[in-house]
Structure 1
């Protein structure tokens, strides 16, 4: 290792330069070169580092041998490199020999391959052609398989679709849907130039579909024979089959006809069993209480039969809703599709209107009516027998009202626009028959009372036949009020048009009840009016007023539907009360002896001087006559009001009696006041005339007021 502190020059001055002189020797040049070397030079520093690694000590011997040692190492290193390159050259020679051998083998193999290729060229070409044909055949096979799978039914599918021995299950409906899809897709095949295949498939598919629908039709008929509608869990396959069969409207309608006939017979037998407790075959069913046990009570008997019919109709409708309508409009869609595909529909002109759109609810209502039509005919026969055998007027009306209620109920159940429904027609005819019987019985009853119409009661009260008629009418109105018959028209109008005014509703009720009043009330009141005409005044008015008041008290609680008739009765009451008031007034005038005076002075006016001057010349105002009138009035007044009320003692309304008498006395007092005023004016005029002549003479007559001293105030007090 070189020790730098032994260097001839200190390290602190490494960059010191000595400028050589031209006469310097080589040693000086060498020294100068060494001294000019910079320690920052990388080569110099690497050389120093190499010397450190060799561990060379800095001595004179070492410095002399260093160059030789380095040269020797360089020579040795070059020798090693030459040896290595020699070995590399040997390897390259071996690789070259190997490559030559490979090239020779390649050429040999190439010649063999060329010969083989020439020998197999024909076979390879033929194989390629066969492979291409194979791929073409495979493509056609795939196409054929896809075509057969889409357009052709397998033997098992055809058997499931057409053979009646195969069940109608999910597989049947799957194959049926596939067949319908094939028929629709055949339109694509018919679009090609060669239509033979499409026509053949279309023909075969149509045959299979027809067989399938025939099989489905027969299966549904078989199911209908054993179908239990009372079971809420109706098999879903029946509903599904009906939806599918709806695509053949003729078959679907035929199924409905078959179903309706079967259900009609079943319900008729059930109704007969409910009536008699015996089945159609004659077997006794002890679990059923026969409705006929209540035949002794016609109203209950008819009510029980109608209740059974209503219950059966509701149950039938609910069951058929599950069967036909529970799946929405699927049946309607199927019917529409079937109608559009029918041959005569396709051949029709475009301008022709097709059949109306299928209404599921309307069809359901019609089917329910057909199902219960058999029971409805039995029901009509039984109720007609009850109506014809009945001889009671009130019962006849109650039957008519009950039938009207059920007619309204069945109308809501089967649709109000279904006027051809057998059940609704039966209810309408039975109601009309019951009303005819009611009118007939009422007229017969009136005919039997013709003798009683001739005799007025001694007390001028309502006759017995009127009281009995009012009792019957009260029972009729009570029955009418508790029924739905009075609300039928209002229910419909409110549902479609909203609430109406109360006055209009009352008018509707009045119009509906008028025919009943015309039969059960008007003839009796008319009889009373005829009886009143045969009685002298005022008994005629008293008698008829008593009848009118009794009628009003009967109708008043039911003013909701008798308001118009009550208004007529009040008008008649007011008219006869006015007549009675006139009679009382005439009584007061006649009994008070004032009739001549009222007749003479009534037409005169207090405003006319001529009329006042005429008063003293009238016969009733002469002193003797006037004194007699005054005396008669004095005799009458103490008992006047009692005598007047005695005239109305048979009037059964004391309040009306007082009002009539008060009206007559008020009129009497008004006329008396007029007479009093005229007499006073006549006295004043006479007094003025006497004063103009210088006073009265000795034989001067007394004044009119002196002869007739009563005042209006006194009259009012005595008549109050």
Structure 2
């Protein structure tokens, strides 16, 4: 509508001057005052800026009222506007009159309230004057009551925290009462009182704190002494056949740990009692009678000394009994040291602070170690079976002294080593029983070496004869030694000591004592035998040793040494068999002549193959005899050669040696055959050749017809 209004505005301006409004038309040339007024009005209208905000707001209001742009409307516009303004002002005046009426009413109400308040203020002042003495007296009484109640609470709190009743004192210190829950409750309360006395010592009145501290210290000491005596009585009545520590004893020991001296004394008492008991029980298990001479019950197990006739069984039963007892002791004490370990450690630390004299003494010797429950358990179990360990050592040493069998001593040593490994898993490395077993193992090993060296010395004194040619097998003492060694290796292989990484080095000392001396003795015997018997005898001994050592993996290094030694002896037998082939076949003089010719002519034979014709072994008669000897030798050559090694225990090795010697013989024959063929070829073109009386029409090949292929077939 605003846009339409602006579009209609120019027409309105024109309508003002139009003749239809009853205004005479303006002459083209204005004259007089009217023309000036009209001109001024037109100028004012034309100079009006429609961009002015007030003009725009007025136009928007007119547009909102729906005023039409007519001459009547333009004439009545001012009148209508003024009428509306007068009406609005009238309404405003009417409203302000109502407001004035209300304000008058409010003023009356305020005046009434002021009067009421003044009356109340006067009454209150009068009441205050009357009640002031009463209020002051009541405040004084209430303050006194509050102070009295506070003092009563302090007194009650002091009694409950720092004093115990007569009944509680009796339950804590009297020996006529038992150690029950009430005792531990009172003991815990007295410990708290003793600790809280530090608060009193920090106050101004220290006398009271010192008195209570002294009284609580006396009560605590009496309580701990009562607990200490009660634990000792319980240990005396404890079922030593089934030493399960009850919950009450465990609780008592846990509390007693706050006094390390008393706690250690109880453990020492228990260890001493268990040591004597286990020693007596072990003696009874061995002999069937107690240490006091009383006979064992007939229904009990048979004594170890009666049913264990074998020394190994006897020692094994004693070790098994000791291990079983150690396991039982550990299981019985694990409940105390493992389940209660943390509490024991905490109480021992607190007790060390409560006993500064012990802590100072420990610091002078060495740094105080943290309590280790497992170590304490292992130490106590070790002390319990210390008496058994002493008896065990005496009995095992008696067994070792009474038997001179080296194998028995070594098997006992392995058995002890097995149980020592078992005890290491069960107890601490520094346990007395482990030290005893280590000493017994060392003693058994020493006894084994002594017995073995005595046996070797006896064998050396008995063996004086040299093996005859009819029997070159391993001597009887070597077979016995190998049988003993086999038992030793089985014992080592079944023991836990063979599980170590370096098994060969672990068993090497045994080989040095039970194997090497006998092999050295066989070697010395071998030197007194003629060839080839010495090599056969040595190989037979080595084969027997190899068959004994072979099944065990921890003898691989020694097996390698034996194989190297056997290889050397076999090579010497090959050389012997080779010489046998050469001399028996008659081929040795031919090879010797060829070798001498090659050395004398400095290689001239290579340029003159016919030079061998000048050698005596290659003349017709000698070559004929050699060929005849070769023909006689070949049919039974292998049989005769194998006959030389018929006493060798390994037919496979004997066949291999003979075959290798035959191969070397065939190679030597090829050399001789080649020289003969070369000599024949060199003399084919010569005429009237006469060397050592040989005519040119006689060929060496005709005299010596055998070929290398034939030799190989015959010796294969």
Work out which of the residue numbers 317, 322, 341 in structure 2 matches 1:304: 317
For 1:625, which of 617, 622, 640 is the aligned residue?
622
Alignment of 1:528-607 (within 5 A): 528-558=522-552, 560-602=553-595, 604=598
Q: Which sits farther off after the overlay, 590-599 or 183-192?
A: 183-192
Q: Which moved more, 1:707-716 or 1:433-442?
A: 433-442
**Would you say how many aligned residue pairs link Structure 1 and Structure 2?**
583
Q: Which has the higher mean CA deviation after the structures are superposed, 603-612 or 161-170? A: 603-612
Q: Answer whether contact 2:352 2:359 (CA < 8 A) is retained.
A: no
> Shift of residue 533 of structure 1?
0.9
Equivalent residue for 2:351, pick from 314, 338, 352: 338
For 2:684, what is the secondary structure of its paired residue?
helix
Is contact 1:294-1:300 (8 Å) kept? Answer: no
Distance 1:465 1:348 in 2: 66
What is the CA deviation profile of residues 640-668 of structure 1, one whole-angstrom value per residue up to 9, with x for unaligned ones? 11110100111111111100100110111
SS in 1 for 2:531: coil
> Are residue 482 (structure 1) and residue 478 (structure 2) matched?
no
* Deviation of the 1:699 alpha carbon: 4.0
Other-structure match for 2:652? 655
Paired residue for 1:168?
Answer: 179
What CA deviation, in whole Å up to 9, does each residue of 1:48-84 have, x standing for no partner? xxxxxxxxxxxxxxxxxxxxxxxxxxxxxxxxxxxxx
Q: Does residue 359 of structure 2 align to residue 362 of structure 1? A: no
Q: 1:448 is matched with which residue: 452, 458, 463?
A: 458
For the 8 Å contact 1:612–1:681, the answer to whether it is kept is no
Checking the alignment, whether the CA contact within 8 Å between 1:369 and 1:422 is kept in structure 2 is yes
SS in 2 for 1:278: coil
Q: How does 1:255-404 map to 2 (within 5 A)?
A: 255-285=266-296, 286-288=298-300, 289-294=302-307, 296-344=309-357, 354-404=367-417
Distance in 2, Cα, partners of 1:313 & 1:195: 55
Q: Does 1:713 align with 2:709?
A: yes
State the TM-score, normalizing by the size of structure 1.
0.75
In 2, Cα distance between the equivalents of 1:598 and 1:188? Answer: 119
Equivalent positions of 1:192-211 (< 5 A) are 192=203, 194-211=205-222
2:62 matched to which residue of 1? none
Tell me the residue number matched to 1:247: 258
| Structure 2 Cα separation of the partners of residues 393 and 699 of structure 1 | 79
> Is structure 2 residue 142 aligned with structure 1 residue 149?
no
2:373 and 2:281 map into 1 onto residues whose CA distance is 27
Q: 1:432 aligns with which of 417, 439, 442?
A: 442
Structure 1 pair 315–692 and aligned structure 2 pair: CA distance change class (3 A):
same
Number of the residue aligned with 2:71 = none
Secondary structure at the aligned position of 2:711 is classed as: helix
Residues 602, 675 of structure 1: 8 Å contact kept: no
Report the more deviating stretch, 630-639 or 268-277.
630-639
SS at match of 1:601: helix
Change (3 A) 1:629 1:343: same
Q: 1:186 to 1:615 in 2, by over 3 A?
A: farther
Given that 2:288 and 2:295 are in contact with CA atoms closer than 8 Å, whether structure 1 keeps it comes out as yes
Please give the residue correspondences for 1:453-468 in structure 2 after superposition, counting only pairs within 5 Å: 453-457=464-468, 458-468=470-480
Q: Measure the CA separation in 1 of the matches of 2:305 and 2:189.
A: 57
Deviation of 1:391 after TM superposition, in Å, equals: 2.6
Deviations 1:321-365 (A, max 9, x none): 123222342212222232344425887999998411111111111
Change in Cα spacing, 1:164 to 1:637, as seen in structure 2 (3 Å) is same
Q: CA deviation at 1:553?
A: 1.2
Q: Corresponding residue for 1:637?
A: 634
On the 8 A contact 2:591/2:668 being kept in 1, the answer is yes
Q: Is 1:524 equivalent to 2:521 in the alignment?
A: no
CA offsets 1:476-533 (integer angstroms, 9 cap, x no match): 222222232312x3xxxxxxxxxxxxxxx4xx11111112222222211211111111
| Bigger mean CA deviation after superposition, 390-399 or 337-346 | 337-346
User: Does the Cα contact within 8 Å between 2:673 and 2:708 map onto a contact in 1?
Assistant: yes
Q: Which moved more, 1:365-374 or 1:184-193?
A: 184-193
Distance 2:522 2:376 in 1: 56
Deviation at 1:453, TM superposition (A): 5.0
Change (3 A) 1:706 1:341: farther
Q: How does 1:49-128 map to 2 (within 5 A)?
A: none
**1:229 touches 1:319 (CA, 8 Å); kept in 2?**
no
For residues 330 and 368 of structure 2, what CA distance do their matches in structure 1 show? 25
Distance, in Å, in 2 between the alignment partners of 1:361 and 1:698 is 105
Note closer, same or farther for the CA distance 1:439–1:715 as it changes in structure 2 (3 Å cut).
same
Alpha-carbon contact 1:179-1:209 (below 8 Å) kept = yes
Could you tell me the TM-score, scaled by structure 2's length? 0.75
Aligned residue number for residue 606 of structure 2: 611
1:703 and 2:699 aligned: yes
Map 1:34-45 onto structure 2 (within 5 A): none
- For 2:551, what is the secondary structure of its paired residue? helix
Does the CA contact (< 8 Å) of 1:623 and 1:704 recur in 2?
yes
Pick closer, same or farther for the CA change 1:280–1:628 going to 2, 3 Å. same
Identify unmatched segments of 5+ residues in structure 1: 1-106, 490-504
Describe the SS at the equivalent of 2:385. helix
- Choose the corresponding residue for 2:170, options 147, 156, 159: 159
